[in-house]
Amino acid sequence: MTVGVFKRKKIIFVFYLLLFIILAYIDRFVILNFSKFTKCFVFFLNLDRQKKIFRLIYYFNNTNGSLLYF
């Protein structure tokens, strides 16, 4: 894998991670149900990253918004 491809995949992963964090924040504080919406986007990522993001969203939604899971 070339450096350019790896960098692009990393940028895409960070973009989706930020998207999920924003949607989890909306879920937590505005009390709108975006869970089905977030699950559609997970299929763009591979399985290992899916699990990590789902755990991150679950943890984020069940705490007072602190991202201490990593």
Residue 2, pLDDT above cutoff 70:
no
3 band by pLDDT with thresholds 50, 70 and 90? low
Q: Which domain holds residue 16?
A: 3-61
Residue 67 is assigned to a structural domain of this protein: no
User: What is the pTM assigned to this prediction?
Assistant: 0.35
48 band by pLDDT with thresholds 50, 70 and 90? low
4 band by pLDDT with thresholds 50, 70 and 90? low
> Rounded CA gap, 17 and 20, in Å?
5
pLDDT of residue 68: 43
Residue 70 is assigned to a structural domain of this protein: no
Residue 69 is assigned to a structural domain of this protein: no
Count how many domains the chain has.
1
CB atoms within 10 A of CB 39: 12
List the Cα angle 42/43/45 in 5-degree steps: 75
